[in-house]
């Protein structure tokens, strides 16, 4: 039996109020439980996407690093470093927020990650084609890394919301609702007890009065 809520006087008024609170708590509990289930299914979905996205990004990066290494082997790493310092257009991304069941998740759209040779900014004469390959592969890898950033942030936000909702559901299920019902039962029994007390008191008084009347007439 759960604890009763302290400081509530056992009156009919309070019993009515408790009844309303129980109804409300149960309604909230049902809604939150539905929210939790929906969140969990969404969460699992995004987890899968994180897995895929991470695998793809890792693979692309590995390829890009291999090309970079080749370029470094052909031109020397200092020369590649020099080329990388000459920069063309910077990548820009659009970040939008989407709302999944009240959880804000990012939606990132990269703007023209794949650039033309000219936009890359470095000269052609003194660079090897390996650099071009590496640059192209890195552009592709960056696209995947951006996608990974998006799903990773989504999964974290969703997880936090799932934890929060779960805590609320459990608090309602195991603490709030049992406490309310226990208190309601307590009040109901207390009221019944008072009723019985009153009943016996009246009986006693009636008996006393009748005894008094008898004594008077006698």
**CA 193 to CA 208: how far, in whole Å?**
22
* 155/177 with CB nearer other proteins: 155
Q: Is 18 in the site for other proteins (CB under 8 A)?
A: no
Kindly state whether residue 93 participates in binding other proteins, applying the rule CB under 8 A. Answer: yes
Residue 20 is a binding residue for other proteins (CB under 8 A) = no
Question: What does DSSP assign to residue 94?
Answer: E
Which of 27, 31, 52, 81 binds other proteins (CB under 8 A)? It is: 81
Q: What is the rounded (10 degree) CA torsion for 7, 166, 28, 172? A: -20
- In the shown chain, the binding pattern of residues 102 to 141 toward other proteins, with x for contact by CB under 8 A and - for none, equals --xxx-x--x-x-x----x----------x--xx-xxx-x
Distance of CA 188 to the CA centre of its chain: 39
Smallest gap from residue 178 Cβ to other proteins (A): 21
Match 């990012």 to its residue by tokens.
106
Phi and psi of 90, rounded to 5°? -85, 145
CB-CB contact of 129 with 178 (8 Å): no
DSSP class of residue 202 equals: H
Collect all residues with Cβ–Cβ distance below 8 Å to 148 and sequence separation of at least 6.
50, 53, 54, 57
* 58 lines the binding site for other proteins (CB under 8 A): yes
Phi-psi region of 7 (alpha: psi -120 to 50; beta: other; left: phi over 0): left
Does position 22 interact with other proteins (CB under 8 A)? The reply is no
Q: Are 81 and 183 in contact (CB under 8 A)?
A: no
Among 22, 61, 74, 101, binds other proteins (CB under 8 A): 61
Q: Which stretch binds other proteins (CB under 8 A): 1-9, 16-24, 77-85, 193-201?
A: 77-85
Instruction: Please pick, from the candidates 62, 73, 171, 192, the single residue that binds other proteins as defined by CB under 8 A.
Output: 62
Q: Which residues bind other proteins (CB under 8 A)?
A: 40, 43-44, 47, 50-51, 57-58, 61-62, 64-65, 68-69, 72, 77, 80-81, 83-85, 87-97, 104-106, 108, 111, 113, 115, 120, 131, 134-135, 137-139, 141-142, 145-146, 148-150, 152-153, 155-159, 162-163, 166
């Amino acid at each position: 039996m759960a604890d009763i809520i302290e400081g509530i006087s056992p009156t009919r008024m309070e019993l009515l109020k408790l009844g309303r609170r129980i109804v409300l708590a149960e309604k909230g509990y049902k809604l939150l439980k539905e929210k939790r289930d929906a969140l969990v299914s969404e969460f699992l979905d995004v987890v899968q996407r994180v897995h895929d996205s991470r695998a793809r990004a890792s693979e692309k990066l590995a390829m890009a690093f291999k090309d970079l290494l080749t370029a470094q082997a052909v031109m020397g790493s200092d020369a590649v470093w020099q080329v990388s310092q000459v920069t063309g257009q910077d990548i820009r991304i659009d970040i939008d927020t989407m709302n999944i069941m009240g959880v804000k998740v990012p939606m990132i759209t990269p703007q023209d990650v794949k650039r033309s040779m000219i936009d890359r900014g470095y000269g052609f004469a003194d660079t090897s084609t390996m650099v071009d390959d590496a640059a192209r592969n890195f552009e592709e890898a960056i696209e995947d890394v951006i996608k990974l950033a998006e799903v990773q942030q989504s999964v974290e936000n969703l997880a936090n919301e799932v934890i929060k909702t779960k805590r609320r559901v459990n608090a309602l299920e195991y603490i709030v609702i049992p406490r309310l019902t226990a208190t309601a039962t307590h009040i109901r029994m207390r009221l019944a007890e008072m009723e019985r007390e009153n009943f016996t008191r009246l009986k006693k008084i009636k008996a006393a009065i009748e005894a008094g009347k008898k004594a008077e007439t006698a």
